[in-house]
Structure 1
């Protein structure tokens, strides 16, 4: 008996060898559509975009959603050097090429947003349009924190994440109770279901997974980075103002690095904006990214 083809908005996963790492990558939408790459943040995976996949696929995009290195079913290198922003950005460019797209649309949330900013700054010829959800440009964070002590206090958890071994044990103990609680307490009521958290916990507690995920933070603080050039492509920043960890001023400071950008504020949304405002976020991405604008 033949199997029915997948729905056009259903993610179909495959392994994509990028040379240095192999990623678990979900795809949906027309195979000949313009490629949009969606990058998740901590502590999620490709599943963090599940509410946007269908609308973008139905709008005509070929939606590409990877588990980034260290996450989900993707490879988990051991050394923190493997999680330098340059390498994370190189994964995105290599993934676009593996999908046959020298140029692509790009959106990122949280850590995926930091990577997307880095790709846009250093690989501007590959990015047609850029959308960022609650994520500051890495190039402005240190300067912003120096002048805004309130943001320094909100960022103290990054210091805790530097405690190799202890942080891993704390976050994964009792079936990842602490990390489950963190997602629930920093989002609007009902944002993450028990099924959502159970699925994430299975990923967080895989061998070496939490160390790989925390290595992103460790590399950010310990490894030197280049000064980024300006962001030249059209850029849209979507920002939930009730973010527990990131002040709205970070969005404004990031916008000042853009030649052509704007911010859309979501006054009642938290850090988890694409989960809490799925219809509005999907609509904003669809209208801004413009699938009719071919690479």
Structure 2
């Protein structure tokens, strides 16, 4: 497919020899919303959000990001630097060739989305971050014992091979820990099928292993909505509340009850927050 348009679906795109899978849904002539998944999930985690956005007339483009798409699994942790992940999303937006898009990201997808919105504001109409605040807010919160305790796994993921073995080959390393975080059974089964059995786990862990190479993310000036749940096991209230200090444009904080897995469990809340953000940006 040479171009994305109102008469054709985008199923994949390429950047620097890597091929990324895309799920393109909703009315072809609708305003485009690019959806960025987090760890350890793929574009399928947006199914509920995408279906509801289609009902509101939006076209959604959900990408299986670097390490997750079978054709985009480079070796070496430097290949998973935030600058590369950001470049992949910019390439997707440019491939769509429709001007600025609405952007929604969850978990690691939110981290990437913050970077896209900060470094490439001309490509983003509105930005909706789900669960994870601006990277600088998260870094500040890490100085607290509460956030450091919640983020223990980030250090564990730096160890070569051991996380792959623990997560991929033991019940404790995968399903039990995800269940404790509030992930429901259907999503945990999807994780085993798509991430572990699908061979995406090493690339997914590469995002964490590239953290030593991260450069600062500037403040964001595009219209921004941040959605966080009070029962999030990975992100503290302090991290969530610090987020406002890193947005210079219109900003709204939406607090929900529930777990970290908001797109799966509360798609209506995500869509409502997004639609409100669009209305406020006009």
2:175 aligns with 180
Task: Give the ranges of 4+ consecutive aligned residues of structure 1 lying more than 3 Å apart after TM superposition.
Answer: none
Which of 253, 268, 278 is 1:263 aligned to? Answer: 253
Contact 2:10–2:24 under 8 Å retained in 1: yes
State how 1:131-210 maps to structure 2 within 5 Å. 131-146=128-143, 148-174=144-170, 178-187=173-182, 192-194=184-186, 196-206=187-197, 208-210=199-201
Is it true that 1:233 corresponds to 2:229 in the alignment? no
- How many residue pairs match? The answer is 273
Deviates more, 1:270-279 or 1:163-172: 270-279
- 1:18·1:98 contact (CA, 8 Å) conserved in 2? no
Map of 1:4 onto structure 2? none
The equivalent residue for 2:3 is none
2:247 is paired with a residue whose SS is: coil
**Contact 2:137–2:240, Cα closer than 8 Å, also in 1:** no
Residue equivalent to 1:80: 77
- Residue by residue over 1:35-67, the C-alpha shift from the partner in whole angstroms, topping out at 9 and shown as x without a partner, is 110111000100111110111112121100001
Counterpart among 108, 113, 122 of residue 111 in structure 1? 108
Runs of 5+ consecutive residues of structure 1 not aligned to the other structure:
1-11
Report the alpha carbon displacement of residue 86 of structure 1 after superposing the two structures with TM: 0.9
- Cα RMSD, aligned residues only: 2.1
TM-score by structure 1 length? 0.86
1:205-225, Cα deviation, whole Å (9 max, x unpaired): 2475211110100101x2141
SS, match of residue 142 in structure 2: helix
Cα pair distance change 1:280/1:218, threshold 3 Å: same
Distance 2:155 2:47 in 1: 30
CA distance in 2: counterparts of 1:82 and 1:130, whole angstroms:
25
Q: 1:240 to 1:96 in 2, by over 3 A?
A: same
- Structure 2: how far apart are the matches of 1:49 and 1:13? 17
TM-score, normalised to structure 2, is 0.90
User: What is the distance in 2 between the residues matched to 1:151 and 1:86?
Assistant: 25
Residue equivalent to 2:272? 283
Residue 183 of structure 1, CA deviation: 2.1
Distance 2:225 2:127 in 1: 6
Q: Which of 219, 236, 242 is equivalent to 1:247?
A: 236
Mapped pair 1:55 → 2:63:
no
| 1:23 pairs with one of 2, 20, 28 | 20
Whether contact under 8 Å (1:72, 1:203) holds in the other structure is no
